[in-house]
Chain A
Amino acid sequence: MYWQYVLRRVLLTVPTLLIASTLVFMVVRLLPGDPALLIVSDAQDPVLLEATRERLGLNKPLIVQYALWLRQMVGLDMGVSISTGLPVAELIGTRFAVTARIVTIACLVALLLAVPLGLLAAARHNRALDRGVMMASILLLSVPSFWVALLLILLFGVTLRWLPTVGYVSPSEDLLLALKFAVMPVLALCLTVIGQLARMMRSTSLDVLASDYILFARAKGLSEQAVLGRHALPNALAPTLTVAGMIFGALLGGAAVIETIFTIPGIGRLLVDSIYARDYPVIQGSVLLVGFVYIMVNLAVDLLHPLLDPRVEY
Chain B
Amino acid sequence: MRDINMVVGAGLCLLWLLVALLSVVYMPYDPLAMALDGRLRPPSVDHWMGTDQYGRDLLSRILAASGVSLMVSALTVLAAFTAGVLIGAIAGYLGGSFDRLVMVVAESFMAFPSLLLVLLFLSISGPSIAAVILALSIAFTPMVIRVTRSSVFSLREQQFIEAARLSGSSKSAVLWRHLLPNCVSPLSILATSMFANVLLVESALSFLGLGVPAPQATWGALLADSRQYLAVAPWLSLYPGVVITLAVVGVNLLGDGLRDLVDPRLRQLVEGQNA
> Is B one of A's binding partners?
yes
| Interface positions of A (Cβ within 8 A of B) | 15-16, 19-20, 23-24, 27, 30-32, 126, 131, 138-139, 141-144, 146-147, 150-151, 153-154, 158, 206-207, 210, 249-254, 256-257, 260-261, 271-272, 275, 278, 283, 287, 290-291, 294-295, 298
The minimal Cβ–Cβ distance linking B16 to chain A, given in whole angstroms, is 13
A16/B252 in contact, CB under 8 A: no
Complex contacts, A30 vs chain B, CB 8 Å: 124
Known: A144-B204, A260-B208. A20 touches B119 (CB 8 A): no
| Interface positions of B (Cβ within 8 A of A) | 1, 104-105, 107-109, 111-116, 119-124, 196, 200, 203-204, 207-208, 210, 220, 223, 226-227, 230-231, 234, 237, 240-241, 244-245, 248-249, 252-253, 256, 265, 269
Contact of B111 (CB < 8 Å), options: A20, A31, A138, A271: A20
A142/B230 in contact, CB under 8 A: no
The minimal Cβ–Cβ distance linking B138 to chain A, given in whole angstroms, is 10
Cα–Cα distance between A27 and B121 once the two chains are bound (Å): 7
Complex contacts, B244 vs chain A, CB 8 Å: 144, 147
Complex contacts, B119 vs chain A, CB 8 Å: 256, 271-272, 275
Complex contacts, B122 vs chain A, CB 8 Å: 275
B124/A253 in contact, CB under 8 A: no
A147/B111 in contact, CB under 8 A: no
Complex contacts, B120 vs chain A, CB 8 Å: 24, 27, 283, 287
Cα–Cα distance between A141 and B255 once the two chains are bound (Å): 13
Cα–Cα distance between A254 and B105 once the two chains are bound (Å): 21
Complex contacts, A251 vs chain B, CB 8 Å: 113
Known: A27-B120, A290-B116. A138 touches B241 (CB 8 A): no
- Report the nearest A residue to B196, measured CB to CB: A142
- Report the nearest B residue to A18, measured CB to CB: B108
A294/B111 in contact, CB under 8 A: yes
B113/A146 in contact, CB under 8 A: no
The minimal Cβ–Cβ distance linking A20 to chain B, given in whole angstroms, is 4
Cα–Cα distance between A131 and B269 once the two chains are bound (Å): 17
Complex contacts, A24 vs chain B, CB 8 Å: 120
Beyond the given A19-B105, A275-B122, could you list 10 further A-B residue pairs with CB under 8 A, ordered by the A residue number? Answer: A15-B108, A23-B109, A30-B124, A143-B248, A144-B203, A144-B248, A150-B223, A154-B237, A257-B207, A272-B208
Cα–Cα distance between A273 and B244 once the two chains are bound (Å): 25
The minimal Cβ–Cβ distance linking A273 to chain B, given in whole angstroms, is 10
The minimal Cβ–Cβ distance linking A137 to chain B, given in whole angstroms, is 10
A150/B241 in contact, CB under 8 A: yes
The minimal Cβ–Cβ distance linking B129 to chain A, given in whole angstroms, is 18
Cα–Cα distance between A291 and B109 once the two chains are bound (Å): 9
A250/B114 in contact, CB under 8 A: yes
B256/A138 in contact, CB under 8 A: yes
Complex contacts, A131 vs chain B, CB 8 Å: 1
Complex contacts, B105 vs chain A, CB 8 Å: 19
A294/B113 in contact, CB under 8 A: yes
- Report the nearest A residue to B248, measured CB to CB: A142
A23/B108 in contact, CB under 8 A: yes
A254/B115 in contact, CB under 8 A: yes
Would you mind naming 22 contact pairs between A and B with Cβ atoms under 8 Å apart? A15-B104, A16-B104, A19-B104, A24-B120, A27-B121, A138-B253, A143-B245, A144-B203, A144-B241, A150-B223, A150-B227, A150-B230, A150-B241, A158-B234, A250-B114, A253-B113, A256-B208, A257-B208, A260-B208, A275-B119, A283-B120, A294-B113
